[in-house]
Amino acid sequence: MIEQRFLEDLAVGEINTTAEVSLSATDMVDFARQYDPQPMHTGMEAGTGDTFNGLIASGWHTAALVMRLLVDSRPLGSTPLLGLGVDDLRWPKPLRAGDTVRAEGEILSITRSRSKPEYGVVRLRVTARNQRKEVVYVMTASLWVPCRNP
């Protein structure tokens, strides 16, 4: 059984590295057709132009993949990742078919809630890189984490 981690168990600077996942063209197109049907994501020729030099994953697909990697890595043990919000979401480079992505979460700050002392807020910078170590996704999340000793 995976142990629950509480606010008191966490430390600023702590880094959690996820497993990795590879992305296929079929995965990219299937996601895009359902959620972001733009030509650069679906492979349709019309409107693609030279901007991206071929098929790229939707940024939202990248975000969903990274979220799955984070959840599977269980940085808080059995405590769920309860998001309060995201700041500075960026996709510096697109993911392409055949790319492999891995994410890393670093705790930036830990603050106990004044209004609800049984919880605290953890600011987590998440950076995802492809197999060439190029950053493909970065964001800062605020997580709602329970305290062991309110």
pLDDT at 46: 46
User: What percent of the chain lies above the pLDDT cut of 70?
Assistant: 95
Domains of the chain, first to last: 7-146 (3.10.129.10)
pTM higher than 0.85 for the full model? yes
- Three-state DSSP state, 40: helix
Q: What confidence tens digit (pLDDT) does each residue in 17-70 have?
A: 999 999 999 999 999 999 999 999 998 664 445 678 889 999 999 999 999 999
Q: What confidence tens digit (pLDDT) does each residue in 4-23 have?
A: 999 999 999 999 999 999 99
* Secondary structure of 54-109 in HEC code, one letter for each residue: CCCCCHHHHHHHHHHHHHHHCCCECCCCCEEEEEEEECCCCCCCCCEEEEEEEEEE
User: Taking 70 as the threshold, does the pLDDT of residue 89 lie above it?
Assistant: yes
Alpha-carbon distance of 65 to 71, in angstroms, equals 10
Closest CA to 103 of 10, 19, 24, 13: 19
